[in-house]
Every structure is written in C-alpha cells, then in structure tokens.
Amino acid sequence: MKKEKDSTYLFSLKEDSNFIAFLPVGNYYIDENFKNISQNPNGYYGSIAPSDLLIYNKKADEFYYIKCLASGSSKYSKEGIEYDLYFEIYPPIMLLDNKLNPKYYFFDTEEDGDINLAYYEILFFENYFQINSFAQKERKKINIQDLKFDDLEEVCTKETVLIKKEYFKYNKIDIFNIYNQKMNKQLLPHFPRVEN
Amino acid sequence: MKRLIVIFFLTNSLSFSQEKTIREFVSELNLTKLVIKDNFIFSGNILDSKLECKNYYY
C-alpha cells in the first residue's frame, strides 16, 4: 500500500474482554527510525520510544487517547526496531467517539495536590467547530488517573460550570493535538463570544 | 452450588479490566516490547488523523 504523508498507524498492544490498547505511531517516526538503521546497520540505541496510547472501550464503543510523557527506549538491530515501551500518564485524557472524533478533553487545572477537574467539550458543525470549557464548581481532589474508564465522563462532567465558549474555523488540525495547540496559543478562536 | 461458583468466577474475570483504574490499566502496559521488523509492510486501513481542511468562516 502506498504510504500516505502524516498518517498514524495503530499497533495493538493488548486486548482483553473490555479494552484494546493501541500504540499510535506516526509514519514519519517509523521512517526516521529505519533511516537510522540504514545509516548505522551495526546497531544504535535510541532514547525515546512512542508512548501515547489509544484505548478502545468495546462496551461503550468509544476511544480514549492518553497523552504520556515521552519515555521508553528503542534499540536498532539488523532485524528492525525494538521498542521498550513505558507509559506515564500526562493529562489530558481525550474521549473520542467510534469514528475517532474528539468529544471531551478531561484534565486537572492544578498540579499542587489541590486538584480541580475540568474539561473541554468539542462540538463539530458543518462550517466550524466549538470548544466549551467547563470546570467543577468545587474542588473534590479527584485525580483523573484514579478513575475507571467507564466512570470518566460521569465523574468529570458532574457539578460543573461553563467557563467559556470558543468558535474555531476548520483548518489542518491534528485531532490528537488540539489541547496542546490551544495551550501553546497556536489554536486561536476565530470568533470569540463572551457569555453575558 | 459448585456450578454457581464457577459462573461467578467467569463473570468476575470477564469484567476484571473494567474494575481497574486508568492508572492501573496503563501501568500494566509498561515494559511492553514492540518490534517492527525492517521488512514490515504498511497494510490495512490507514487512519487519517487530520481534520478535513475547510476554508469556511463562521
């Protein structure tokens, strides 16, 4: 099959009766690694392996994308690339529908132990998409990582208040990176509205 | 009675991963080894992770 630019490949890591864990890897990443092998066929040790996760919930028919700190290691040999994977959750955790459209980004607003859960709700329309920001009214000191996948949406969206609504025009946006782009101010609202 | 106990354990093991927290689920994936051989062929459906570019304004 002809390789497409900027495609994401999903490698299945583990499957049980409820979940399938995938490792999303960009084709540019694999290409770069194989280029290193060809340049150094006697073996080379890298320091970083892909570490983000895409989890499919069979019962709920939805996905969770979990950002993890880049870690793990890769070893190049004549046979190919060997990755030792290591995952350390780095919120947000994104909930996607069965067509991989993002619905919610769940995250903590503080990291000092006084944790308040917050989330973005992402709504897609024909000509634009909308991000609604919510935060819990009271701090409940719930760590997002201590929740179960099936309880994530219910716990995070309970007793919240709408902070703001933002509207964005469609552009070439990697759906797995909306949160990062928003934090880095690369994704700016096209037509911000202020609630009365 | 014996049959009932067997059913209980089966049901329990089937729903086991649903009882785990996200932290526990992810930590079990640690130290997983993934090997991509150099003769690896990209096949199957390619998931396009990009939103379609639309030149519309809201």
Taking an 8 Å cut-off on Cβ atoms, the answer to whether A79 and B14 are in contact is: no
Place of tokens 């995938």: A22
B45 touches chain A (CB under 8 A): no
Instruction: Find the closest chain A residue to B10 by CA distance.
Output: A17
In-domain check, residue A94 = no
- The number of beta carbons lying within 10 Å of the beta carbon of residue B16 is 12
Q: Pairing between strand A128-136 and A19-26?
A: unpaired
**With a cut of 70, which residues of chain A have pLDDT below it?**
1-7, 37, 40-47, 110-115, 171-176, 190-196
Inter-residue contact A89 to B26 (CB < 8 Å) = yes
β-sheet bridge partners, residue A179 = none
A189 shares a domain with A140: yes
Same domain, A196 and A115: yes
Give the pLDDT of residue B37. 79
Residue-number span of the structural domain to which A164 is assigned: 99-196
Number of domains in chain A: 2
Question: Phi-psi bin for B13: left (phi > 0), alpha (psi -120 to 50), beta?
Answer: alpha
Residue A57 corresponds to which tokens in the numbers above?
């919930």
- Of B28, B43, B52, which is closest to A1 when you measure between CB atoms? B43
**B30 with A87: Cβ contact below 8 A:** yes
The residue written with tokens 């106990």 in the block is B5
Global ipTM: 0.81
Measured CA to CA, the distance from residue A37 to residue A27 in angstroms comes to 15
Is residue B12 pLDDT above 50, yes or no?
no
Give the pLDDT confidence of A114-127 residue by residue, as tens digits. Answer: 568 889 999 988 87
Interface test with B, best of A44, A71, A82 (most B CBs within 10 A): A82
